[in-house]
Chain A
Amino acid sequence: MTTDYLKSVADSNQWWALGPEIILACAALGLLVMEIVLPKKDHRFIPFIAILAQAMVLLTVSLNFRTIWLGENLFGGLIKLSPWGQVARVFFLVSSLLVSFLGTLCLPRTKVPRVEFYHMVMVVTAAMMLLVQSNHFVMFFVALETVTIGFYILVSYFRDNALTLEAGLKYLVLGALSSAIMLFGIVLLYGAVGKVSLNGVTHTGFEFEILNNFLRHHPDNFLAIAGALLVVGGVAFKIGAFPFQIWIPDVYQGAPTPVTAFLAVSSKAAGFAVLLTLVNQVFTPLASILVPVLSLLAAATIIMGNLAALTQRNAKRLMGLSGISHAGYLLIGVVASFTVPWATSAVWFYLCTYLLASMAVFGVMAYLSGPDDTNQTLDHYEHLAKQHPFLGGILAVGLGSLAGIPPLAGFMGKLLLFIVAFQAELYSLLAVAISGVVLSIYYYFGWIKSAYFEAWRPVSTETTPITRSVITIPTLTGKWILGLLALATLLLGCYPGPLSHWLPF
């Protein structure tokens, strides 16, 4: 351990490169301080301060989008900024802003502490941003656990609701299991590389480049293959791929609506960002094993998600189960990325359209639900389009985009994935995906149907009054936000130029 070496490590500690994450975490801590310091009547401003802080960080990241540290190993190889990492940072910040907005809708309806929610959202977002930049399995695991532990708290945030507590417990147990699986995989990989030298501690099997180099020379090392599969299994839990999808319906139903949205969008995107990094930078030599495994996973995920969602009437469970099928479509993109380089862009394009559409739907769900948002069924949406044309319109745009109907953005996302799959010659996966999309039409349009089409009833029978709680009328801000989401979905469907130019194809 020479001085030169230590010096080079110290030189690579570019704290400014992690500015956004640091600011976000400091702001999150600041919120807690403010709760103590500020007089009680001023506490209502804290959510807005939180949103403002996130917006500022978003601004910094987007202004400094092509940062000077791109592609450099920082912090002794722990962190590596990549163009995709920058995209992911922006994605997570936009998502957390929208989740915070949903929080301002849902939290006041129940008696729960508010400030901690925003605190947790910001911390988890910062951890996700670190996760996608990590270039080293220790960094990777620490960031991932920060995310997971944050979600343990967020999922069971409404402590007085039995279903929420159940969701929290399920997520805790299964999340811990998946972490254990992943950790075991990491350790196996580390052991396979087998350079337990004290000299140059960072240059070990934890580091992505070293690992990739090792795998290239020993592509049939059994320990490494087992380790890689276990790591992929751990990530599959995050994205809700078969057979790790079992937690999704219960947790999505029990978690508060903003947290469900956070799980559905950010957590899933983080999982895919990580999977893409692993597949394209680390496990590339294992393509002959990972391609069949991931293909099988994708097909099973699509079939499982769509079949399970078919008969679902609970809105949040439906979002969860249909989200599984979206993970399946995205996995096709991941499989294709082994052979077609621009598949990564297609996956991110899809994730962006998924963000816009899902957030619009979750927004409508938040306006429709009362203090207990776990039991919202599709019947609650009856007459929505007539009584609240605005919410009905947003819902239709969001669901239409999720179903992949042109001219909405979701269609463009699916189109790019299909083209990628064709170029990678994944014909059987395409067939599965097409049947999945057709199945999904049934439940997405079933939802739209309950909001738009009046069911035909004989005149003689008594009409049962709807049992839903009173709909919160959207404020002007709420209308703007939902309207912008829907408008962006529509515009990107007709004119995908802005998004496709922004993504580094």
Chain B
Amino acid sequence: MNSLHAQLLQLAIATPLLAALIIAGGLPKRFAVKLAGLAFVVPALIAAWLWQQFPAEGGATYHYLSNFDTGLGRFGITLKLGLNGIALPLFLLAAIVGLAAGLYALRSGAERLKLYLMLLLIMQGGLLGVFASVDIFFFYFFHELALIPTFIMVGIWGGRDRNYAAMKMTIYLTAGALLSLLGLIAIYVKSGAQSFDLIELKAVLAHQGLAPTAQKYIFGLLLFGFGTLVSLWPLHTWAPLGYGAAPSSAAMLHAGVLKKFGLYGFIQIALPLLPLGAQTWAWQLALLAGIGNILVIGFITLAQRDLKQMLGYSSVMHMGYCFLGISCLSAIGTGGVVLLMVAHGLSVALLFMLATSVHHRTHTFDLAEMGGLAQKTPVLAACFVAGTMASIGLPAFANFWGELTIFVALWKFSPGLTAVAVAGVIISAIYGLRAVARIFFGPPSEHLQQVMGQHPPADLGWGERLPALILLAALLGLGFYPQLLSRSINQALPIGTAKIITGSAPTSPAQP
């Protein structure tokens, strides 16, 4: 049974990539669309099945393992796939958001649709691969595989400033990725494990950890590498610009899923393998995230007039909560981060998609030129309001549980930062609700009346409604019953983080 599941896991990653290859081979457009649709649905079904089959008491270890040698075996690099309790929720997230983004793209009517779908499929394959990789080299490899299409999609289908945005994103993200690659190679070389296999690395390092100085430097590399990728202030400037210019499906997948790569790396790799390094950097990380990401970016978000820019900044801001949760270095904090990663991925994907739907109806992203859309498009308005509420972190949505657990953990770490974080929720409520009010309520602006006179706005069609409902259902499901994911996360954490950190704490001098 387990080998069947392992094969299903491989199939989930291979399907989008193979479909992309077939489409690149010159499939006619009619079939290409159908094939792409299939290639988005299959991984989602497989992910749901694997999640449902995941052993109730087995979150701590990896399941569905399979191993291939790609010719780099002598360096300890093999394509090793599998899922543990932390990887599973994110794998599921990638599959769900991928499905929503894919379905939306199928009906988006983009120019050069075949190329668009092909790139999106490559991205989807890479995303699923990232979270299913046990080998940290392939973890990086799949991330880059998903990243490249993003650049091309921004450059070809992007909005205003697309060339600049694509270039800036490329340079920032490559720099971040290379720094984290250096960190990963450093772990490999210094650990003496002769392997990039995370299970083996954990075993070797649990036996004898790295020297404190080595841990400090390597964690620093990873901090700034992963930090750039997750838009840690002040390395965040690519994010609002890039998301503002990116076409909706690419923004959904990147902001929703790909960006979680860095956080996932912290939780799955950096914290368990470099506990002392994490301790030395925890305060720096917390201050950058608390003051920079939450307060500074929060105020910048308040000042945005452009809907997509605002969403981009708000996603940068919410990453601050994740960083704060990580810097607590406690099981409850990291568990909250995993939950928030999933919830934020779903909600931000929903909002980016609906922002494009709004743009189709108003022909502008400028918040000042909108208004009164709720009367014409009630479903769109309802979905958008729900998405905004989820993003603020109101109860009944998944985000609430993530933020709540992070706040609980944060109180132990630093009450002052908890106050800052809670103030951030108020800031995000202000800009979120104000945007909703500007777009959907009040009298329509002159510009909008003109546009609506020429093209009367229709409510969400099924091409937009279906992906929105998938995302909303997931958000609400997790909001009412977080145990859907939290059980497997719980089991993975004690071994993954808390034990090693508390276990090694006495040997290191207490941090003031």
Contact of B189 among A422, A437, A438, A497 (CB under 8 A): A422
Interface of A: prevailing SS: helix
**Least Cβ distance of A10 to chain B in Å?**
43
Complex contacts, A495 vs chain B, CB 8 Å: 70-71
**Which chain A residues in 419-451 approach chain B with CB under 8 Å?**
419, 422-423, 430, 434, 437-438, 441-442, 445-446, 449
A472-505 CB mask vs B (1 if < 8 Å, else 0) is 0000000000000000000000111111110001
**A158 interfacial contact with B, CB 8 Å:** no
A445 and B167 form a contact (CB under 8 A): yes
Is B186 positioned at the interface, with any CB of A under 8 Å from its CB?
yes
> Which residues of chain B are within 8 angstroms of A101 by Cβ–Cβ distance?
none
Find residues 155-207 in chain B having any chain A CB closer than 8 Å to their own CB.
155-156, 160-163, 166-167, 170-171, 174-175, 178-179, 181-182, 185-186, 188-189
| Interface members, chain A 374-401 (any B CB < 8 Å) | 400
Q: A422 contacts B162, CB within 8 Å?
A: no
- Interface contact A501-B71, CB-CB below 8 Å: yes
Option from B70, B156, B160, B163 in Cβ contact (under 8 Å) with A497: B70
A15 lies within 8 A of chain B by Cβ:
no
B174 lies within 8 A of A422 (CB): no
Question: Contact check: which of A430, A456, A500 meets B72 at CB < 8 Å?
Answer: A500
Interface residues of B in 204-240 (CB under 8 A from A): none
Residues of B within 8 A of A455 (CB): 163
Question: Which residues in A have their C-beta under 8 angstroms from that of B152?
Answer: 452
Q: Would you call A442 and B163 a contact (CB within 8 A)?
A: no
Closest chain B residue, CB of each to CB of A408: B148
Contact of A405 among B72, B148, B156, B160 (CB under 8 A): B148
A residues 235-262 touching B (CB-CB < 8 Å): none
Residue A418 at the chain B interface, CB threshold 8 Å:
yes
Across-interface contacts of B74 in A (CB, < 8 A)? 500, 505
Q: Contact flags (1/0) for B134-147 with A, using CB distance below 8 Å?
A: 00010011001100
- CB contact under 8 A between A453 and B189, given known A437-B174, A438-B174, A498-B71: no
Contact partner of A496 (CB less than 8 A), chosen from B71, B140, B148, B151, is: B71
The verdict on A370 contacting chain B, using a C-beta distance below 8 Å, is: no
CA separation between A489 and B180, bound complex, in Å? 24
| Any A CB within 8 A of the CB of B75 | yes
Given A453-B155, A456-B163, A500-B71, residue A407 in contact with residue B171 (CB < 8 A): no
Contact A423 B189 (CB under 8 A): yes
List chain A residues, Cβ under 8 A from B178. Answer: 434, 437-438
Q: Is B57 an interface residue (CB 8 A)?
A: no
The distance in angstroms between the C-alpha atoms of A499 and B70, with both chains bound, is: 11
* B69 close to A (CB within 8 Å): yes
Query: How large, as a class, is the contact surface on chain A?
Result: 35 or more
- With both beta carbons as reference points, the residue of chain A lying nearest to B148 in the complex is identified as A405
Residues of B within 8 A of A500 (CB): 71-72, 74
Q: A422-B186, A438-B171 are in contact. Are A453 and B166 (CB under 8 A)?
A: yes
Min C-beta distance of A34 to chain B, whole Å: 41
| B170 pairs with A445, CB closer than 8 A | yes
> What residue in chain B is nearest A442 (Cβ atoms)?
B171
Contacts of A371 in B (CB 8 A): none
**Contact A496 B70, beta carbon cutoff 8 Å:** yes
CA gap between A494 and B72 in the complex, in Å: 11
Q: Which residues of B contact A441 (CB under 8 A)?
A: 170-171, 174
Among B71, B140, B148, B155, contact of A449 (Cβ-Cβ < 8 Å): B155
Within 8 Å by CB of A453, from B162, B175, B185, lies B162
Instruction: Establish whether residues B72 and A422, one from each chain, have CB atoms under 8 Å apart when the complex forms.
Output: no
Q: Is A406 an interface residue (CB 8 A)?
A: yes
Contact between chains at B185 and A400 (CB < 8 Å): no
Contact residues in A for B171 (Cβ distance below 8 Å): 438, 441-442
Alpha-carbon distance A62/B170, docked complex (angstroms) = 41
> Closest CB-CB distance, A127 to chain B, in whole Å?
33
Whether A418 touches B162, Cβ cut-off 8 Å, given contacts A449-B155, A452-B152, is: no
Residues on B with C-beta less than 8 A from A405 are 144, 148, 174
Q: How far is the CB of B329 from chain A (nearest CB, A)?
A: 27
CA distance A411 to B147 in the complex (A): 14
Q: Which residues of the other chain, A, contact B179 by a CB distance below 8 angstroms?
A: 434
**A497 vs B68: C-alpha distance in the bound complex, in angstroms?**
11
Residues of B within 8 A of A442 (CB): 167, 171
CA distance A400 to B122 in the complex (A): 16
Min distance, Cβ B164 to any Cβ of chain A, angstroms: 10
For A430, the chain B residues whose CB sits under 8 A away are: 182
Which B residues touch A454, using CB under 8 A? 156
Which residues from A are CB-within-8-Å of B75? 416, 419
**Complex formed: what's the CA distance from A400 to B152 in Å?**
12
User: Which of A400, A415, A437 gathers the greatest number of chain B CB atoms within 10 Å?
Assistant: A415
CA of A273 to CA of B249, assembled, Å: 48
- B163 with A418: CB separation less than 8 A: no
Whether A400 lies near B148 (C-beta < 8 A) is: yes
Closest to A435 in B: B175
**For B145, what are the chain A residues with a Cβ–Cβ distance below 8 Å?**
406-407
Set of chain A residues within 8 Å of B162, measured between Cβ atoms? 453, 456
B174 touches A453 (CB 8 A): no
Inter-subunit contact A422/B185 (CB<8 Å): yes
Residue of B69, B141, B160 with highest tally of chain A CB at under 10 A:
B141
| Shortest Cβ gap from A119 to chain B (Å) | 38
Taking CB atoms, residues of chain A closer than 8 Å to B72 are 412, 496-497, 500
Q: Is the CB of A446 within 8 A of B167?
A: yes
> Residue of B at shortest CB range from A438?
B175
> Which of A405, A412, A498 is packed against the most chain B CB atoms within 10 Å?
A405
Across-interface contacts of B161 in A (CB, < 8 A) = 456
Q: Which residues of B contact A407 (CB under 8 A)?
A: 141, 144-145
**Contact pattern, B 68-89, Cβ under 8 Å of A = 1, otherwise 0:** 0111101100000000000000
- Contact between chains at A418 and B181 (CB < 8 Å): yes
CB distance from A411 to the nearest CB of B (A): 8
On whether the beta carbons of B163 and A449 are closer than 8 Å, the reply is yes
Q: Give the Cβ gap from A352 to chain B, nearest Cβ, in Å.
A: 13
Contact A419-B182, Cβ < 8 Å, known A438-B175, A453-B162, A501-B71: no
Whether B141 pairs with A406 at a CB distance below 8 angstroms is yes
**Chain A residues within 8 Å of B156, by CB:** 452-454
B-chain residues with CB within 8 Å of residue A419 when the two chains form the complex: 75, 185, 188-189
Question: In the assembled complex, which residues on chain B have CB atoms less than 8 Å from the CB atom of A418?
Answer: 181-182, 185
Q: How far is the CB of A307 from chain B (nearest CB, A)?
A: 15
A443 to chain B, nearest CB (A): 11
Give complex CA distance A452, B141 in Å: 24
Q: A453–B163 contact, CB under 8 A?
A: yes
- Contact B70 A452, beta carbon cutoff 8 Å: no
Return chain B residues, CB-CB under 8 Å to A423: 189
Across the interface, which residues of B come within 8 angstroms of A434, CB to CB? 175, 178-179, 182
**Is the CB–CB distance between B69 and A497 below 8 Å?**
yes
CA A449 – CA B162 in complex, angstroms?
11
**Of all chain A residues, which has the CB nearest B217?**
A427
Shortest distance from the beta carbon of A37 to any chain B beta carbon, whole Å: 46
A493 to B77: give the CA distance in the assembly, Å: 13
Task: Quote the shortest CB–CB distance from B159 to chain A (angstroms).
Answer: 10
In the assembly, what is the distance between CA of A252 and CA of B156, in Å?
32
Q: Which residue of B lies closest to A496 (CB)?
A: B71
Interface residue from B160, B175, B185, B188 paired with A456 (Cβ < 8 Å): B160
A-B contact pairs, 13 of them (CB 8 A): A406-B145, A418-B181, A437-B178, A445-B151, A445-B170, A446-B167, A449-B163, A453-B155, A453-B163, A454-B156, A456-B163, A496-B70, A497-B69
Additional A-B contact list (12), CB under 8 Å, known A406-B145, A416-B75: A406-B141, A419-B75, A437-B178, A438-B174, A441-B170, A445-B167, A449-B163, A449-B166, A454-B156, A455-B163, A495-B71, A501-B71
The 5 A-B pairs of least Cβ separation, nearest first, read A497-B71, A453-B155, A406-B144, A422-B189, A438-B175
Which residues does A use to contact B, with CB under 8 Å? 400, 405-407, 411-412, 415-416, 418-419, 422-423, 430, 434, 437-438, 441-442, 445-446, 449, 452-456, 494-501, 505
B residues sitting closer than 8 Å to A (CB atoms) are: 69-72, 74-75, 137, 140-141, 144-145, 148, 151-152, 155-156, 160-163, 166-167, 170-171, 174-175, 178-179, 181-182, 185-186, 188-189
